[in-house]
Structure 1
Amino acid sequence: MNSINISAPASVVARLRQLLNEYQHTEIELRARLRASEARFRDLLEMTSDWFWEQDAQFRFTYFSTGLAQTHIPSTELLGKTRWELSTNLTPEQWAAHRAMLDAHQPFRKFEYCIRTDAGEERWLSINGQPQFDERGCFSGYRGAGRDITERRRTGERQRLAAAMFEATRDAIFITDTERNIVAVNPAFTALSGYSEAEVLGRNPRFLKSGRYADAHSAPLWEVVGRKGFWQGEFWNQRKDGETYAVLTTISEVRDASGRPSHYVGVATDITHQKAAEQRIEHLAYHDALTDLPNRALLGQRAELALALTARRHEALALLSLDLDRFKEINDVLSHTEGDILLVQVAARLKTLTGDTDTVCRIGGDEFVLLLPETDQERALRVADKILAAFRQPFPVARHSLRITVSIGIALYPHDGSNVTDLLKNADAALHQAKQNGRNTRTFYAQEMNAAAFERLVLESELRRAIAASQLCAYYQPKVRLSDSQIIGAEALVRWRHPDHGLIPPGRFIPLAEASDLIAELGDWMLKEVCRQQAAWRDAGLPPLTVAVNLAARHFRNSGLVAQIQGLLAAHSLPPQALELELTESSLLEIGPNTEETLLALERLGVGLAIDDFGTGYSSLSYLKRLPLTALKVDQSFVRDLVSDPDDRTLAATIIALGHGHGLGLQVVAEGVETDEQRRILLDQGCDLAQGYFFGQPVPAADFVAGWIRQGFSDVQDAVELTEA
């Protein structure tokens, strides 16, 4: 065989070495490029994902990249576990669907769930997974990436909540751009304004303003928003239908990520009802709730302004103080409801009698005040007389036609005072004088009236003390039978023995008592004193006598009156016939159910009931038939001119016939009999009883009994020791 020469030239070896070096260099370069590519791929993946993960063929975690640490979930808690072994918020149905995908070796994307760490923290994760196969094509597991989407989920939840609040809130919300043009509104805005979103987009919210108030705060509004970031205030806006409404609006500035204003958000709360309530409260603070007239507070404000203008112009001003005559009787006899109806009608009538610049006020009860600017004495007198004339027309109240009179006191600026307080005080003093002058009149203020008013206050205070200090006493006026002039009863009348001023006439203190609660205390005292005195007369051997006591209307409205009288009669062992109660005819104007029941209970008790001053008030035959009355008393105004006035004789005869006829069977008593001629006329007319100076004046108990004994009981005179104790 031929041998082969394997030796090679040196050039070939050198070439081989060169090729080998080039290969090694290329390999190194390729490896470097691969590493750079892998690093670049890894960086790109990490920019799109937070971490990588791997699972084996049994879906157990075998690897996590370091990025998992930012979720605060230690990888040691997850390695070796399947995903469904973790504490998540997924339902079994959701897990079953995911497990089916895994078992089918399918890729998955954006599989989101919430995992709870051992520390109790909840983290939301989004997972992508790709199945892995070996070189033989056998499934070897999953490889994928994950992201922590907790903040995204929270942001999305906040956005959903904000959107829901935007849609559901009852406050109107509008959003504008930086040019202050509307870009969005919520349904509440549409409901409040009446405009749909399409109708307001691109418009400035100023189009809603009503023009009710000047838009003076518009410029400061935006200046405040720019300085503070928000502004809050009230607007009166106008709905699409033209109706105005009030809103409390907050306008806030919204800034973008760079800190520059991007939008403005306005939130408007409807406060229309609140503003209306505030206006009602303010109105009630300055107006009378019953009549809607200005009250004392508003009177003070208007009077101060009127006085300032009057002084500047050197003009006059008048203040009239008005008070309804005997209103307390109307209020007691009827009810407070009917009394209120009367006051409302009085207020309306007074308003028709005054001018536009005048003010009519109700300052309490039945007291009214008229403030008359630019009014001298002559105009004040004309207005007062016009009021007196207008009150001659009756007021329809319930089923009645009431004729009410009014008393008026007048004070003039500057003669009677330079301020509201003095003018009111002096007008009140003139009003009291008008009452003293007989009511239903007007009186101008005079300086001496203040002294009289002070005296009245002192007298009222002393009367209160007099009741407790036993300064009162009862006088008795005989009541005789006209057929034989025998004393068959008496009327008890209260008197006041003042320790310093002696015997004070009833005309001075009874009106004071009627104007206050003292009239009830006087009536209670009289009932006790008359029962005590009758028991003393009985114990002294005198025969029984019926004594009449005049009670105010408010006594009969007291449901405890019957029990009070029962207690007094029992305490003194007196029969019911020992007492007769007198009530004025005006008290019968309207007998309510409670009052009527009180009168019926008194009848069942056996106590007599008489109408005093009959013919001067409001009675009708229906009252006399319905109520358990026992006697009528003819008012002395009809008896006084009985001899000379045919009309009075006719009236007296009519009253007597009324009492006796119509099945009433009432005794008729004539008051104020002073002459024998009056006695004979009344006797001829059939009158039963009479009282007056002709038969005897009101006298203390001892004097009354002395006259009684002289008349027909001298046989017991020596056995009786008369006292007033």
Structure 2
Amino acid sequence: MGSGAKDMRAERDRFVAFAFSAADLMLEIAGDGSVLFVSGAARLLTGEDGDRLTGRQFSSLVDEADRHFILNLLASLTVGGRIEPVTVRLLRADGAPGPICVLGGCCLPRQESRYYLTLSNARLPQAEAAMANKRDYQTGLLASDDFEDRAGDRLKLARELGSEVKLTLMEIVGLRELAENLPAEESRALMSDVGALLRGQSIGGDTAARLDPEKYGILHATPFDQEAVTEQVRNLVRRSGPAAAAAEAVGVRGATLDLHAKGMSDEDAASAMAFAVQRFANDGAEGFSLRSTEDSLKALLNTTVSRVRALRSAVTGRNFQLVFQPIVRLDTRTLHHYEALSRFEGGGSPFETIRLAEGVHLIGEFDLAVVQRVVDLLAEKRRQGEVIDVAVNLSGHSLESGIFMAALREILQVDPTLRKQVIFEITESTQITNLVHAANAVRQLREDGHFVCLDDFGAGAASFPYLQALDVDYVKIDGAYVKALQAQGHVRDQAILKGMVWLCKELGIGTVAEMVETEDQARLLLDFGIDYGQGYLFGRPEPEMRLEPLRLPDDPGGHRQPGDIRLKRG
């Protein structure tokens, strides 16, 4: 064998070793997408030998949920270019889901009609978590809540590795209306194409999200060319048939945030990002919109950093206020109990502040501070001869912590006589991830003599699993159903509301409706069988609780309840 042939073989062996040191399977793909050559652990990843894969379309090896994304990714691969590693799920020959893999690839110079792809079995928990995330059914992009969690994890990892990561918030103006006016098949194809385009811009192909019908968020490491993305979106619209003429009316606007502010911890950077995403998705909360300039968005990030620090100060220094809103029996209009609500300096949204507290892992400490203040207030009222029942909100995050539960019970054991006066409302501002721990916590609270309410029932997909797992005394029905009571075209909402009330009565659970503002609403809610109401009709949140003690008989519905107290008039 000549030296030239030996050199060629050695060079080939080096390239093969280079490929398989980082991958389990290597494929050569023709320009039409068919498999030309396979080497490596084909049976392990696909369930078939390599020779049976030759001639098949590579896209047929990919799970349907990721197929469109991969096709768009390959179509965008240029000569001399490469695919940054992305996470995909394969599909086995029998149609069953295959393993989760990391896909990489390139198109070598002088090989314009061929691609070289590598697949590695993704054994990391991160890959499993990525595939378990909830996705928007039209675009395949992450849902808003899962994007915050996923992007936060990616951001922390990038900062640990010293990598630069940026967040682009963007609005594709006019796309939603255009898609709604297309035939169903063309609409699905267009939105799927847009989703695949944005996924391809994101880190790992799994850090892009649809935050709102026209708003998107992308976490990326490489530069984001807004003008290029705008033109690519318009090209997709032009390909969608009858909508071609409308392509110029579709526009992309937004800005990019640098998430590497000096002096910020990983946790604060992730929380600042999450807060900015929430503000952007709401578009109107505290005056934020994409009409802001890039400088304004950077100022928002700085403001968020300041809020994180102010929140820490408020929690550790107990520097917050409580106001109390009455909850009344709808049949007698007597006061059942009050709900304690938090207020912070500056008048910012309490909901956003609580989300921020969860993001920076201060929510448990904050919940304990609120409980301590309520317990002190109830003890003082009792010394004055007033017996008051007050509901305190507990985050689902707090319930999952054994340390939190031990600290909470320690506070409540100081004066066990107050236990029946302290009601706990479990909030769903973020999803409970460990229902077993939460169920144990709820059971312990009830055994200790507390009543427990599940807040915002019907607002999220997890409401019914929560009701199945958590043995509660009350549910508070989300105010959206109350608002829709008298609106035209909301027959479905009313039917769902009646169904929820029926289910709760079957389970012996009391029902509370929030955001009750009119007598007509109160009357309809009573007719539907709802037990209690909360809203401006009965009283706004105020710093003081005005009442005179009067215990009434137990509710004839048969479920446990605190005593009712008649409102003090005048």
Alignment of 1:267-286 (within 5 A): none
Residue 655 in structure 1 maps to residue 528 in structure 2: no
Q: Deviations over 1:600-632 (max 9, x none)?
A: 222322322211111111246565344311111
TM-fit CA distance, 1:209: 2.9
TM-fit CA distance, 1:359: 3.7
Cα distance in structure 1, aligned partners of 2:380 and 2:538: 24
Secondary structure class of the residue paired with 1:684: helix
Q: Which amino acid aligns with 1:435?
A: A
- Decide whether aligned partners of structure 1 residues 665 and 695 sit closer, same or farther in structure 2, where only a CA change above 3 A counts: same
- Decide whether aligned partners of structure 1 residues 537 and 375 sit closer, same or farther in structure 2, where only a CA change above 3 A counts: same
Cα distance in structure 1, aligned partners of 2:201 and 2:462: 37
TM-fit CA distance, 1:568: 1.3
Cα distance in structure 2, aligned partners of 1:409 and 1:582: 40
Cα distance in structure 2, aligned partners of 1:383 and 1:411: 21
- Decide whether aligned partners of structure 1 residues 695 and 532 sit closer, same or farther in structure 2, where only a CA change above 3 A counts: same
Cα distance in structure 1, aligned partners of 2:237 and 2:425: 36
Secondary structure class of the residue paired with 2:385: coil
User: 2:185 aligns to what?
Assistant: none
Alignment of 1:275-354 (within 5 A): 292=102, 324-327=143-146, 353-354=196-197
Q: Would you say the 8 A contact 1:410–1:431 is kept in 2? A: no
TM-fit CA distance, 1:463: 1.9
TM-fit CA distance, 1:637: 1.0
TM-fit CA distance, 1:456: 2.2
Q: Deviations over 1:673-701 (max 9, x none)?
A: 1111111111222211111111111111x
Q: State the superposition RMSD in angstroms.
A: 4.9
Cα distance in structure 2, aligned partners of 1:442 and 1:385: 25
Q: Would you say the 8 A contact 1:670–1:691 is kept in 2? A: yes
- Decide whether aligned partners of structure 1 residues 208 and 507 sit closer, same or farther in structure 2, where only a CA change above 3 A counts: same
TM-fit CA distance, 1:636: 1.0
User: 2:371 aligns to what?
Assistant: 527
TM-fit CA distance, 1:409: 8.1
Cα distance in structure 1, aligned partners of 2:20 and 2:233: 46
TM-fit CA distance, 1:432: 5.9
Q: Deviations over 1:329-382 (max 9, x none)?
A: 989xxxx9xxxxxxxxxxxx89971299x6431599886227555834733766
Cα distance in structure 1, aligned partners of 2:207 and 2:395: 19
Q: Would you say the 8 A contact 2:276–2:301 is kept in 1? A: no
Q: Radius of gyration: which is bigger?
A: 1
User: 2:545 aligns to what?
Assistant: 704
Q: Which amino acid aligns with 1:525?
A: A
The one of 554, 560, 575 aligned to 2:397: 554
Secondary structure class of the residue paired with 2:336: strand
Cα distance in structure 2, aligned partners of 1:457 and 1:466: 14
Alignment of 1:62-81 (within 5 A): none
The one of 673, 677, 689 aligned to 2:532: 689
Q: Would you say the 8 A contact 1:433–1:443 is kept in 2? A: no
- Aligned-residue sequence identity (percent) comes to 22
Cα distance in structure 2, aligned partners of 1:671 and 1:355: 39
Gaps of 5+ in 2: 25-83, 88-99, 105-140, 154-191, 209-217, 239-251, 262-268, 551-564
Cα distance in structure 2, aligned partners of 1:275 and 1:617: 41
Residue 518 in structure 1 maps to residue 362 in structure 2: yes
TM-fit CA distance, 1:714: 7.2
Residue 634 in structure 1 maps to residue 477 in structure 2: yes
Q: Would you say the 8 A contact 2:474–2:511 is kept in 1? A: yes
TM-fit CA distance, 1:470: 3.1
Q: Which amino acid aligns with 2:474?
A: A
Residue 435 in structure 1 maps to residue 281 in structure 2: yes
User: 2:230 aligns to what?
Assistant: 378
Secondary structure class of the residue paired with 1:574: helix
- Decide whether aligned partners of structure 1 residues 372 and 541 sit closer, same or farther in structure 2, where only a CA change above 3 A counts: same
Secondary structure class of the residue paired with 1:628: coil
Q: Which amino acid aligns with 1:527?
A: V
Cα distance in structure 2, aligned partners of 1:276 and 1:651: 51
Q: Would you say the 8 A contact 1:360–1:371 is kept in 2? A: no
The one of 334, 339, 350 aligned to 1:491: 339
Cα distance in structure 2, aligned partners of 1:409 and 1:457: 25
Alignment of 1:452-531 (within 5 A): 452-496=300-344, 498=345, 501=346, 503-507=347-351, 509-531=353-375
- Decide whether aligned partners of structure 1 residues 323 and 465 sit closer, same or farther in structure 2, where only a CA change above 3 A counts: farther
TM-fit CA distance, 1:275: 8.7
TM-fit CA distance, 1:562: 3.3
Cα distance in structure 2, aligned partners of 1:211 and 1:675: 84
Q: Would you say the 8 A contact 1:562–1:601 is kept in 2? A: no
Q: Which amino acid aligns with 1:455?
A: T
- Decide whether aligned partners of structure 1 residues 706 and 666 sit closer, same or farther in structure 2, where only a CA change above 3 A counts: closer
Secondary structure class of the residue paired with 1:530: helix
- Decide whether aligned partners of structure 1 residues 580 and 382 sit closer, same or farther in structure 2, where only a CA change above 3 A counts: farther
Cα distance in structure 1, aligned partners of 2:536 and 2:319: 25
TM-score of the pair, normalised by structure 2: 0.54
Q: Would you say the 8 A contact 1:673–1:693 is kept in 2? A: yes
TM-score of the pair, normalised by structure 1: 0.43
Q: Would you say the 8 A contact 1:429–1:450 is kept in 2? A: no
Secondary structure class of the residue paired with 1:599: helix
Q: Deviations over 1:94-132 (max 9, x none)?
A: xxxxxxxxxxxxxxxxxxxxxxxxxxxxxxxxxxxxxxx
Cα distance in structure 2, aligned partners of 1:636 and 1:428: 25
TM-fit CA distance, 1:535: 1.3
Alignment of 1:591-630 (within 5 A): 591-619=434-462, 623-630=466-473
Gaps of 5+ in 1: 1-202, 214-235, 247-271, 278-285, 295-321, 337-348, 387-407, 718-725
Alignment of 1:134-145 (within 5 A): none
Cα distance in structure 2, aligned partners of 1:276 and 1:587: 37
Secondary structure class of the residue paired with 1:209: helix
User: 2:522 aligns to what?
Assistant: 679
Cα distance in structure 2, aligned partners of 1:576 and 1:210: 81
User: 1:106 aligns to what?
Assistant: none
- Decide whether aligned partners of structure 1 residues 588 and 604 sit closer, same or farther in structure 2, where only a CA change above 3 A counts: farther
Secondary structure class of the residue paired with 1:563: helix
Cα distance in structure 2, aligned partners of 1:676 and 1:539: 36
- Decide whether aligned partners of structure 1 residues 431 and 592 sit closer, same or farther in structure 2, where only a CA change above 3 A counts: closer
Q: Would you say the 8 A contact 2:370–2:392 is kept in 1? A: yes
- Return the structure number with greater relative CO, CA threshold 8 A, min gap 6: 2
Q: Which amino acid aligns with 1:378?
A: T
TM-fit CA distance, 1:598: 2.4
Secondary structure class of the residue paired with 1:704: coil
User: 1:115 aligns to what?
Assistant: none
Q: Which amino acid aligns with 2:323?
A: Y
Q: Would you say the 8 A contact 1:643–1:649 is kept in 2? A: no
Cα distance in structure 2, aligned partners of 1:458 and 1:541: 43
Cα distance in structure 1, aligned partners of 2:395 and 2:235: 34
- Decide whether aligned partners of structure 1 residues 691 and 524 sit closer, same or farther in structure 2, where only a CA change above 3 A counts: same
Give the number of equivalent residue pairs. 374
